[in-house]
Amino acid sequence: MGKERQRTRISSKIDRLPEEIKSKIDDMLLDTSITYEEISEWLFEECGEEISKSSVGRYALRTNKATQRLLEIQQQTNQLVKAIRANPDEDYTGAATHMLMGGLIEKMANAEEEFSNMPLDKVGRLVVAVSRTEAYKRKIKHDMKKKAELAFEEMEEELMKLIKSDPSLATELKAVLEKAKTKVTSDD
């Protein structure tokens, strides 16, 4: 098979500038009245760096994306911390897992280049793995539903033996058990 390209970290001319200059560029980017071309001209006039307006634009996109992602993560974390403080006895592993899955899904959505360069046999293995996982999930759900139904049937038989002497009580108990069985075995 062909050799896969390794991803390298993006390093532009701006990334190699001293921190104080990058900080000034970041401040200029926050001011929407300053154009990329003006920033490019400032870099040449003040710092002697010849950096195109396109390079400034690409740098702005990268830094904006990173900043936006950090803000989203911070907001999610703050919400989780608030919920934990309000209900310290709850189990929040589901929420944490949901946050992690969100990050993974975003990573997959942005990985178009990696998927287009992926060998066909690897794509096939991934598709099969996802399909197996979904089938396994459905099987587990079906098995759990069957076990719950059997448990309720056995419990109903046992209770009916105990209360045979009172027919109205038996009818009420059967209705309660049916209602509980429906709730437990529903697909929700």
Task: Name 22's Cβ contacts closer than 8 Å, sequence gap at least 6.
Answer: 14, 15
Q: How far is CA 2 from CA 112, 117, 118, 121, in A?
A: 18, 10, 10, 12
Average pLDDT over residues 62-79: 78
Average pLDDT over residues 144-154: 86
pLDDT exceeds 80 at position 95: no
Lowest mean pLDDT among 97-101, 129-133, 156-160: 97-101
Model confidence over 13-47: pLDDT tens digits?
888 888 898 889 888 888 888 898 999 999 999 88
- Can you give the residue ranges of every domain in the chain? 11-87, 119-188
pTM: 0.39
Model confidence over 106-130: pLDDT tens digits?
666 666 556 667 777 877 787 787 7
Amino acid at 172: E
For 150-164, b where at least 16 C-beta lie within 10 A, e where not — what string? eebeeeeeebeeeee
In this structure, the number of other CB atoms found within 10 A of the CB of residue 116 comes to 7
The token pair that represents 32 in the structure block:
């929407």
CA pair distance 50, 37, nearest whole angstrom = 11
Average pLDDT over residues 146-175: 81
CA 152 from chain centre, in angstroms, equals: 37
